[in-house]
Structure 1
Amino acid sequence: MDLAFLHPLYEQTGPWASVYVDTSRHTEGTPHERHLTAEAMARELARQGADEATCRAVRDALEQLRHSSEPHGRALFARAGEVVLDPSLARPPLGDRAEWAPLPRVSPLLELTGEDPVCVVAYVDRKGAGFELRSALDREPAGTVAWRQWPVHRTSSADWSERHFQLRVENTWEHNAAEIADALSVCQEETRADLLILVGEDRERRSVRERLPQRLAGRVVEAPHGAGSRLLDADVEEARTRHVRERTEAALDRFMAARTPDDEGRAAAAEGVPALVEAAREHRIDTLVVRPDGPDTHREVWIGEDPDQLAVRRTDLKILGEQHSWAARADDALIRSAVATGAPALSLAPLEAARRDDVPSGGLGALLRWR
């Protein structure tokens, strides 16, 4: 997950209000329920010590969602009476919650907005093709392809002229399949889509797939159900889920390999809070790896005003010359450091529990920029 969108949260000091709300339920009583949620979140923040202006800003922002049709949920991060960031979520949170803390509570975003593959769904038939761009939150048209207007239906006649007609039909279809493949390749480049999902009859899907450039081979999926099927949405979601899982598997394999020390006893990966704190101070985190259920994620560390001012013990910060310090969760403190140095973060949540059990140690690890 690219963390660059979190930069506004670290341009100002805390404390911060962090709120996650579920907007996936849509009934006649939803507006009133969301009004009650807005009041409850504001009360909870006040109970934890948040200032009145920030509580009011959160309540007002949540009130504006009373009639929202957002399919999953919203996160809000506020301080000093202002909502600084309010990203939409790619999946619903496990209940509404609000926290008041020195750092914004961002680690849940790794699961709730993290890996959200963008797909180009290509609806292919013998008369034309249309593209649709999909993510967890949106879908929109992404262009069409007008194909050569030769007849495209074969006949069963054995007459020579009919066979000649059929050959022309085959040539027309081959041309059209090449046209759609070229257009789909351009669409992928322009949208930077993670997946291309082909929808249509078996032969049409296969013909287009065979003409796509080799660089896209690993991104192409053929949907088993057609455009008119109510199961197509499930096909697309399954392809997106599988893509996330495979990418996470590959990243975990890289981390596992990097744990092995080289001939000089140095490893290209670190795990455990003390090692990660040291790597963060030295700006050596290349990719932060988080197992959300790990016990170290909520371990207390100490932070200063700057992202690289963090330590396992408060006295360590004083030794480093930092006069002001606050206790914070290890995962949120490490994410702040990762944002400052442009490092992405990886959540292992998409993996089966047996695959990610106890890796990384304590639930926090990192691939390093140098050994």
Structure 2
Amino acid sequence: TDPLGANTARNLCDKMYEKRKQGAQEVEVLVKELNANGEKERILQIVDYLIANFSASPNGNHRKGALIALAAVTIALGTDSYPLLPKLVPPVIKSFCDQDSRVRYYACESMYNISKVARSKILPFFNEIFDGLFKLVSDNDQQVQKGAQLLDRLMKDVATEDESFSVDAFVLLLKERLYVGNPFARQFLLGWIQVLHSIAHIELVPSLPEFLDGIFHMVSDKNKEIRITAEHTLGEFLQEIEKNPPVVDFVSLVKILIPRCTSQDEDTKLIALTWIHSFIVSGKDVLVPCVDSILGAVLPSVASESDEIRERAIKANNALSKLVDGTEKEVPFKTLLPQIRAQLVSDYVNTRLAALRWVSLLHDRFPQDIADYLDTLFYTLLKMLSDTSEVVTLSLEVMARIGHNEGYF
């Protein structure tokens, strides 16, 4: 039997929106009355009937009717709808992927109305809703996009007002999607990162190694708005890192930054070098084991044609020299010296000069530790005597210091 009554059922599947709306209002009145009388079984029958006969119908108007009616049931029940959410929500989520764009639009509207009532009780379905929104914000239909944006705003409010929101689960969702090319999807993801990062009780920095590279990937986007948002987001994270170094996994983050320091995109390179410089200053001794790879990422840019990039690289190189000069931690000579030797034969004069200063620093500071490497270094320095005058002068100075101490001459 039809638990709605023939007239209401007919209205719900009418092709006219006003009729469907009238049907939903009738559902709301009926469910309110049943709830007041404690007739839970009848309410369950109505929900099951809507799902079986409307949500799963091949007729688009039936599916639209189901969406508006399921939201009406939730509104009628208020907080009493919470135990029914596992029944009410899945058919709406399923409709996010409907082939009919109007059904997709009404799915956004229905989920908005259900979530408004449910608030934090909707969070168990967050992953599925987030996945639906991620696709809907890029929908071909502008009305669907607008509906998705409204739902998105509400979901951000719900997620950020409740302390039970799972950052770990969110980071997994984010990580899987960050390399998508669609501009609407990218803005959607950056929007979520920014909102969550702005909430005091939500701590994203410890999870940053999971998604930092994805944000850097967006710095070179063709869309100016996305580039600006990505840069702004990175700037906010760097400020927080500088304020609170103990929670930062510097080593994991440096491994992400190093390839970005040699990016073909100048903005990406500049930001990566800025982060590296900041990390050397904030992370201090924690970064000594990474000094070889940092040096390999920074030294090529001390010869950059871009004033900004060159200055940033020089600052980072100076900070790294100071760090190594003052550290009591074990310096990875075995990987650092081959890296310096590679930079000594760089195509760029300023890089070669910077590498020579590193040889000088290491020889003065750690003479015993680099003794085993002097033969190969000396051979490289000899070959540099046919270089530009500035390089030759510095090479001779370095060779003289080595020779003076080691009895080479």
Q: With a CA cutoff of 8 Å and minimum separation of 6, indicate the structure with the bigger relative contact order.
A: 1
Identify the structure with the greater helix proportion.
2
TM-score calculated relative to the size of structure 1: 0.24
Q: TM-score, normalised by structure 2?
A: 0.22
Larger radius of gyration: 2
